Amino acid sequence: MIPLDPRTVERLAEAVVDIGSPYERKGYELARLLASAGWANPPEYDGSPRVPWLAEQLTERRENRAEIERFLCRVCDPIEYDDGMVTAEGFRALVNEKLAPEGIVVLYVSGRPVLGKLQPDGRQPAFSEPADFRARLERLLLDRVTIDMLMGRLEETRICESGGAYTMAVIGIGSIVEGLLLQLLLERDDELRTKGFPDTRGPAGRPPKKPERVTLQELIDIAHAKDWIQLDATRFVHTVRDFRNFVHPRKELAERPRFDRDSVMLCWAPVQALLNDLEENVPPIAEFAG
Q: Cβ atoms within 10 A of the Cβ of 117, count?
A: 15
d(CA 274, CA 179): 13
- Above 60 in pLDDT, residue 127? yes
Degrees, nearest 5: CA angle 74-75-80: 70
Write down the pLDDT at residue 232. Answer: 76
Question: What are the distances in angstroms from CA 115 to CA 1, 127, 129, 200, 281?
Answer: 11, 8, 11, 34, 19
Write down the pLDDT at residue 130. Answer: 86
- 113 - beta bridge partners? 108
Could you read off the pLDDT of 136-195 as tens digits, one per residue?
Answer: 999 999 999 999 999 999 999 999 999 999 999 999 999 999 999 999 999 999 999 999
Name, of 140-154, 216-230, 244-258, 261-275, the range with top average pLDDT: 140-154
**227 falls in which pLDDT band (50, 70, 90)?**
very high
Contact criterion met (CB below 8 Å) for 2 and 68: yes
Q: What is the pTM of this model?
A: 0.79
Could you read off the pLDDT of 7-52 as tens digits, one per residue?
Answer: 999 999 999 999 999 999 999 999 999 999 989 899 999 999 999 9
Please list, residue by residue across 61-85, b when 16 or more beta carbons sit within 10 angstroms of its beta carbon and e when fewer do. Answer: bbebbbbbbbbbbbbbbbebbeeee
d(CA 160, CA 264): 10
Could you read off the pLDDT of 49-103 as tens digits, one per residue?
Answer: 999 999 999 999 999 988 999 999 999 999 999 999 999 999 999 999 999 999 9
* Residue 245 identity (one-letter amino acid): N
